[in-house]
Amino acid sequence: MPRGRNSPPHWGHQLGCLPCRDWGPKSCPAWGIPRPLPLLCRDMGLQNALYTGDLARLQELFPPHSTADLLLESRAAEPRWSSHQRGLWSLTYEEELTTPLHVAASRGHTEVLKLLLRRRARPDSAPGGRTALHEACAAGHAACAHVLLVAGADPDIPDQDGKRPLHLCRGAGTLECAELLLRFGAKVDGRSEEEEETPLHVAARLGHVELADLLLRRGACPNARDAEGWTPLLAACDACCPSPADAEVTTARCLQLCHLLLSAGADADAADQDRRRPLHLACRHGHAAVVELLLSHGVSTNTMDYGGHTALHCALQGAAMTLAQSPERVVRALLNHGAVRVWPGALPKVLERWCTSPRTIEVLMNTYSVMQLPEEAMGLVPPETLQKHHRFYSSLFALVRQPRSLQHLSRCALRSHLAGYLPHALPRLPLPPRLLRYLQLDFEDVLY
């Protein structure tokens, strides 16, 4: 007989016992205290009402004394290859279990969430590995997170990947969700189970300045290390630019995070298991302002990682995208803080890689008293680049095997004499600003 609009939803067979974490130790059947098992519901009308937040329809489907302790099947958006018996593979949709509470929390249906909780939905149910609180925080629905926490949801429970709700805070309601979790007892330095990341690691990696500030004010450790030895400062300096258009925004966020972490006591020279330091990562990604900030905190410019790379190596081996972020500033800052110069035999390779950034070539060449390039080096620069930067490359190749100007030789002699004291001594010299800038390798877009 067909069911009418007001008929109860069709609920399928009962499932076997769920993990004890899902039941709680005093209600698990294994303890001899049976509890009605959740029903598997395949009623499409109920699921449609849940996904659309149709409160009136759900009030009809869940009258007083009914239960919302149900399981729903959800399918992945894309089919995946899966193996069945006899070694056969087929392309099928991966099915996962969820609950009405999870659907409401992930969609931000606060009133629906309240109704389901009144109908005995369990706030910490996690048939698919996540609780409804994980879903609410991942979607940034602070009002839903508040309802669940008031109903007794565990603010520190790990999901199937070992991540706690505080690790998953995203979206417009990130700060509100994080504040609620901390107020209801979430550990500010709670770690994920595999990566051993703290929420501060996640905030730093994602460039979320406001969240990092909140966590630090609530006592988060700025020098906590994850399973690979990374600190939040390392995570912040490793921020990559998704595109040249986003370079300025990414670098600005990275700079704000580094200021914040260093002010909170982060170790500016902390190394990971591969001996990579914040300066190595900032140089590799071309974050010039961050490099200058780290150098102002006295980090070493010539420390090598396990691969034998110094910060200058990292800067010169960075991705081509760093061209949009003034790599010449990074190279100049390192050289003005005592970085060991590039081996002369490697200069042709550097010229070939960075020829489209003539200022990077300029600042490197201005640390040598003689232009140490082979005469055939001109062939390393594409004709269109030679034409675009004609004045600079004309001056560069005119100096091959030729003496440099007396003024430049004097600069080289003074910088060599000051050596390791360069970053501290140069600003203290009683010299006119223009001459001081010259000694600090100011750009002139031509070589003498």
Side chain identity at residue 254, one-letter code: C
- 60 pLDDT above the threshold of 90: yes
Percentage of the chain with pLDDT > 90? 71
pLDDT bracket for residue 251 (50, 70, 90): confident
117 or 89, which is more confident: 117
DSSP-H helix ranges across 121-207: 132-139, 142-150, 174-183, 199-206
| Adjacent-strand bridge partners of 96 | 74
Look at the block and give the residue holding tokens 């005469």. 375
DSSP-H helix ranges across 9-72: 20-23, 44-52, 55-61
- 356 pLDDT above the threshold of 60: yes
Task: Give the range among 75-84, 222-231, 250-259, 398-407 with minimum mean pLDDT.
Answer: 75-84
What is the side-by-side strand order in the sheet with 95-98?
A: 11-14, 39-41, 70-75, 95-98
Please report the pLDDT score of residue 25 as a whole number.
37
Q: 23-27, 28-32, 431-435 — which one is most confidently predicted on average?
A: 431-435
Percentage of the chain with pLDDT > 70? 84
3-state DSSP assignment of residue 206:
helix
Q: How far apart are CA 184 and CA 149, in angstroms?
A: 7
- 13 pLDDT above the threshold of 60: no
Side chain identity at residue 179, one-letter code: E
Q: How far apart are CA 350 and CA 360, in angstroms?
A: 9
Question: 299 and 277 in contact (C-beta within 8 Å)?
Answer: yes
CATH for the 8-76+93-156+170-186 domain, from 3.40.50.300, 3.20.20.210, 1.25.40.20, 2.170.120.20: 1.25.40.20
- 123 pLDDT above the threshold of 60: yes
Look at the block and give the residue holding tokens 């300045």. 209
3-state DSSP assignment of residue 261:
helix
Q: How far apart are CA 288 and CA 299, in angstroms?
A: 15
3-state DSSP assignment of residue 168:
coil
Q: Which of 319, 170, 341 is nearest to 238 (CA)?
A: 319
319 or 170, which is more confident: 170
pTM of the shown model: 0.84
pLDDT bracket for residue 73 (50, 70, 90): confident
pLDDT bracket for residue 90 (50, 70, 90): low
Using CA of residue 309, residue 311, residue 315, residue 319, what is the dihedral sign? Answer: positive
Q: How far apart are CA 114 and CA 132, in angstroms?
A: 12
Q: How far apart are CA 101 and CA 96, in angstroms?
A: 15
Question: Token pair for residue 277?
Answer: 């330091």
In sequence order, the 6+-apart residues with CB closer than 8 A to the CB of 293 are 255, 258, 259, 262
Q: Which of 377, 207, 409, 356 is nearest to 290 (CA)?
A: 207
**How do residues 201-248 score in pLDDT, each as one tens digit?**
999 999 999 999 999 999 999 999 999 999 999 999 998 755 556 677
Domain limits, the chain? 8-76+93-156+170-186, 357-448
Question: 100 and 68 in contact (C-beta within 8 Å)?
Answer: yes
Counting Cα atoms < 13 Å in the Cβ hemisphere of 68 gives: 29
